[in-house]
Structure 1
Amino acid sequence: MKIQPVIMSGGSGTRLWPLSRRSYPKQFLNLVSNRSLFQETVLRLSGDASLFSAPLIIAGRDHAELVETQLKEIGIDAADIILEPCPRNTAAVAAVAAAWTADKNPDALALLSPADHHIEDKNAFHRAIKDGAVAAAKDHIVTFGIQPAHPHTGYGYIQSGNDVCKHVYEVAAFKEKPDHATAEAYIKSGGYFWNAGLFLFNSKSMLNELDQHAPDISAAAKQSLKECTEQGNARMLNEKEFSACPSDSVDYAIMEKTDKAAIVAPVDIGWTDIGSWSEASSESSDHVISDCNDITVRSSGPVIGAIGVDDLIIVATGDAVLVARKDCAQDVRKVVDELKRRGREDLL
């Protein structure tokens, strides 16, 4: 069965400030290779015509040109580019994706994938998709459980339950981001996996679950797609309808309520969501680093010099500099929140 990739590219990446900005968020940055995270994601879900259809891109309203430029750079044509007039979280995106797929590619399974994650082992990922497709073809809504490498407190966890089919299990429970002791207990007990925010489903099954468990989201999202307008090579969802859509995640709106939730696990693909600077690679070309250990250095402007410091993040642009301990990487959004409070729109 064909897979319809749906690339969710509406995120803002506030924890990757100051490089990640509203006008150029993290998915369009080169953080782990010489291609952007968005480009890496599209390429990972392309190339095998027997498995993947051309990707559907769902992005923020101001990023149509970025999407088109970066697709052109890697030689990929999108099946469609749909723009969100305002952010409404992943459940609304899932509803739009399911409605579009049901109409344009009804025989395919939709794979909802964030644009800003990194996966090292593409072949293992494709094998996991094929495992999940067996369950999705039977109307399960499938997510992917990443084999935990350590007791991470920045990820949600999923507990696996009874067998569904080979490498696929019922979801026993979704767990919020834990404290360190709880994360250690999850690792020790086994059967708990990082929640990667990837979803594979039959579009009709997803639409049925949305109608049942999140009817307001379903109705608003589908109507916004029905009343979308052309914007160059992209299409803009109807702003009135989409802005009225409740904001909720797929996890809360659907997965924690449906009896069709399933998980492929364990998925060992070298996954990270690049959720903070501690997970991004460091630059080394022009910077001067001496007697330093475990520091991340990035700059889109000035050369950085660092001497005798450890466990630091140093990120510079033409108008801002971030310096933080690595154990505070998840708190960078506090800087963004403070800048919002001060009305510094020029730095957001």
Structure 2
Amino acid sequence: MIGKIIPVIIAGGKGTRLWPLSRASAPKQFIQFAGNRTLFQATLSRVSDTDVYEAPIVITNEEFRFLVAEQARELDIALSGVILEPVARNTAPAVAAATIYAASRFGTDAIVQVLAADHEITDIDEYFSAIKTARAAAGAGKIVTFGITPTEPATGYGYIEVGKALPTGVSLVKRFVEKPDRANAEKMVSSGNFLWNSGIFMFRVEQILSELSQLAPEVEEAARAAINDGKQDLDFFRLDETAFSRSPDISMDYAVMEKTGNAAVVTASFAWSDLGSWDAMWKLGAKDESGNVASGNATLLNTKNSFAMSRHSHVAVQGLDGVAVIASEDAVYVGRLEDSQNVGQIVKHLSSFKKTAALTETHPTSYRPWGGYTSIFNGDRFQVKRLFVTPGKKLSLQKHHHRSEHWICVRGTAEVTIGETTQTVRENESVYIPQGEVHRLANPGKILLEMIEVQTGSYLGEDDIIRIVDEFGRN
């Protein structure tokens, strides 16, 4: 009998293809684009059926560790482990490290499914039908990739040519094809023998480790050393940086799938998108009679086949066709939908100038293990922030050398420590923290605490924090 599947969710990407909402420090997998869940949370929910799955393993960038933990906590979904990558090394090293970690927890006979944290999948019945087929094939020794039935000649995806059908319901992989130009994409789709390459895999632990040791030994050796020399840190497992850095930067397709004789593909007909562009977001959205998708504070007039999104300022679009207009708190992107695969070019351009580089790196809203903050206004020797603190959480006991702070409670109840005194601050009440004074903010309540913070002083950088006590192990 085949046991439960071990889901491995890869959530470390720092992609900026959905700029300006997605930034290097706030990538798309952790952002709510629609509804009340992030893409990462949707992925967690997809593997939450305990009849099918064990608790997932997440491998992510160290910078995102608290986002992973908090977003899983919000859904009350337990994790088998959170593995932290010290450096980015593409999907093959990530999969190798997570698989070796899974072997120590679940054994070498376990079946692993690798998923990206930022994919959109609907038609859940079809999804689980494909999972069932892939699990049987993986149990029989195949390394299974999921091929999506194409709905158009997309040039933003790789393709898989389908080979001989096998009795298990999967087919052999004849070949992988890189992202094609339009003409070749049209030929492949019209042939009916090509599928989109989803980047979802399923395999037995023992099988993939054997393949890695033969086909990509440097990847397997570096991953194993990174696990062996790694260490547990609170709820996270830190891969050893020296060992993991030795791994080649290589994808699973290049390292294993294009070389192995055991590759198989399951044809999946569920709706799928890697949400790699604003055009992809538009295609998935609910369109009006003019083919427009509007999200948040947006109005479109005499406009068709366009996508507009704003969370803050109201965006009005008039007399245009086939455009994307995306507004964040501090930047607006306007471009043709058909060119939205190339947003990375403008991000690269912005990042090359000191004046605009921060727009590609940091988001006005930053998340911390206790909640986070949004920068509202910056001035000469002062700035205003909105702090939000999760119930039961508290900031570090800290002090600042160059600034004082004024806190105004606008929602919830705050527990404020200043020096040797602790006091309760309720809605519409405020408190002052002098420069250099030891202080702490905590949320003892059951609802989100929101505070407006006004900082004044000669230097207001985030590095002017001297942490005295921190429950999250930060310096």
TM score, norm. by length of structure 1 = 0.96
Moved more, 166-175 or 221-230: 221-230
Shift in Å, 1:166: 3.6
- Residue 194 of structure 2 corresponds to 192
- Residue 346 of structure 1 corresponds to 358
- Residue 43 of structure 1 corresponds to 45
- Residue 16 of structure 1 corresponds to 18
| Amino acid aligned to 1:29 | I
Moved more, 128-137 or 277-286: 277-286
- Residue 223 of structure 1 corresponds to 225
| Amino acid aligned to 1:274 | L
Unmatched 5+ residue regions in structure 2? 286-292, 362-475
SS at match of 2:275: coil
Q: How many residues align?
A: 346
Return the match for 1:131 from 108, 130, 133. 133
TM-superposition CA deviations, 1:313-347 (whole Å, max 9, x none)? 11112221111100101000001211232244412
TM-superposition CA deviations, 1:147-169 (whole Å, max 9, x none)? 00011111100011112234301
Shift in Å, 1:283: 4.3
Looking at structure 2, the residues matched to 229 and 323 of structure 1 have their Cα atoms a distance apart, in angstroms, of: 45
- Residue 399 of structure 2 corresponds to none
Answer whether contact 1:98 1:204 (CA < 8 A) is retained.
Answer: no
Looking at structure 2, the residues matched to 158 and 271 of structure 1 have their Cα atoms a distance apart, in angstroms, of: 15
TM-superposition CA deviations, 1:76-96 (whole Å, max 9, x none)? 011101111111100011101
Shift in Å, 1:286: 2.6
- Residue 337 of structure 2 corresponds to 326
Looking at structure 2, the residues matched to 325 and 275 of structure 1 have their Cα atoms a distance apart, in angstroms, of: 15
SS at match of 1:101: helix
Looking at structure 1, the residues matched to 83 and 195 of structure 2 have their Cα atoms a distance apart, in angstroms, of: 32
TM score, norm. by length of structure 2 = 0.71
Unmatched 5+ residue regions in structure 1? none
Name the Cα RMSD after superposition. 1.3
| Amino acid aligned to 2:337 | K
The 5 A counterparts of 1:169-318 are 169-265=171-267, 267-280=268-281, 281=285, 282-318=293-329
| Amino acid aligned to 1:303 | H
SS at match of 2:172: strand
**1:71 is the counterpart of 2:72:** yes
Looking at structure 1, the residues matched to 235 and 170 of structure 2 have their Cα atoms a distance apart, in angstroms, of: 38
Moved more, 110-119 or 155-164: 155-164
TM-superposition CA deviations, 1:239-290 (whole Å, max 9, x none)? 111122111000000000010100001x111101101011224543432322
Answer whether contact 1:81 1:233 (CA < 8 A) is retained.
Answer: yes
| Amino acid aligned to 1:163 | A
Q: Report which of the two has the higher share of strand.
A: 2
Identity of aligned residues (%): 39
Answer whether contact 2:92 2:219 (CA < 8 A) is retained.
Answer: yes
Answer whether contact 2:48 2:55 (CA < 8 A) is retained.
Answer: yes
Answer whether contact 1:170 1:262 (CA < 8 A) is retained.
Answer: yes
SS at match of 1:81: strand
SS at match of 1:165: coil
- Residues 32/273 of structure 1: CA separation in 2 closer, same or farther (3 Å cut): farther
Looking at structure 1, the residues matched to 202 and 191 of structure 2 have their Cα atoms a distance apart, in angstroms, of: 27
Return the match for 2:113 from 91, 111, 114. 111
TM-superposition CA deviations, 1:200-225 (whole Å, max 9, x none)? 00011101111011111111111111
| Amino acid aligned to 1:63 | F
| Amino acid aligned to 2:269 | D
TM-superposition CA deviations, 1:1-31 (whole Å, max 9, x none)? 2100000001122111111112110001122
Looking at structure 2, the residues matched to 283 and 225 of structure 1 have their Cα atoms a distance apart, in angstroms, of: 46
Looking at structure 2, the residues matched to 338 and 163 of structure 1 have their Cα atoms a distance apart, in angstroms, of: 47
Answer whether contact 2:294 2:300 (CA < 8 A) is retained.
Answer: no
- Residue 63 of structure 2 corresponds to 62
Looking at structure 2, the residues matched to 285 and 332 of structure 1 have their Cα atoms a distance apart, in angstroms, of: 21
Moved more, 28-37 or 245-254: 28-37
Answer whether contact 1:158 1:175 (CA < 8 A) is retained.
Answer: yes
- Residue 337 of structure 1 corresponds to 348
SS at match of 2:118: coil
TM-superposition CA deviations, 1:24-83 (whole Å, max 9, x none)? 100011224321100001101112x22100000111110011111111111101110111
Looking at structure 2, the residues matched to 288 and 135 of structure 1 have their Cα atoms a distance apart, in angstroms, of: 49
Answer whether contact 1:135 1:165 (CA < 8 A) is retained.
Answer: no
Q: Report which of the two has the higher share of helix.
A: 1
Looking at structure 1, the residues matched to 17 and 240 of structure 2 have their Cα atoms a distance apart, in angstroms, of: 30
- Residue 90 of structure 1 corresponds to 91
Answer whether contact 1:58 1:82 (CA < 8 A) is retained.
Answer: yes
Looking at structure 1, the residues matched to 253 and 265 of structure 2 have their Cα atoms a distance apart, in angstroms, of: 12
The 5 A counterparts of 1:157-172 are 157-172=159-174
SS at match of 1:269: coil
Answer whether contact 1:19 1:300 (CA < 8 A) is retained.
Answer: no
- Residue 149 of structure 2 corresponds to 147
Shift in Å, 1:300: 3.5
Looking at structure 1, the residues matched to 295 and 19 of structure 2 have their Cα atoms a distance apart, in angstroms, of: 19
SS at match of 1:15: coil
SS at match of 1:302: strand
Looking at structure 2, the residues matched to 156 and 141 of structure 1 have their Cα atoms a distance apart, in angstroms, of: 18
SS at match of 1:287: strand
| Amino acid aligned to 1:277 | W
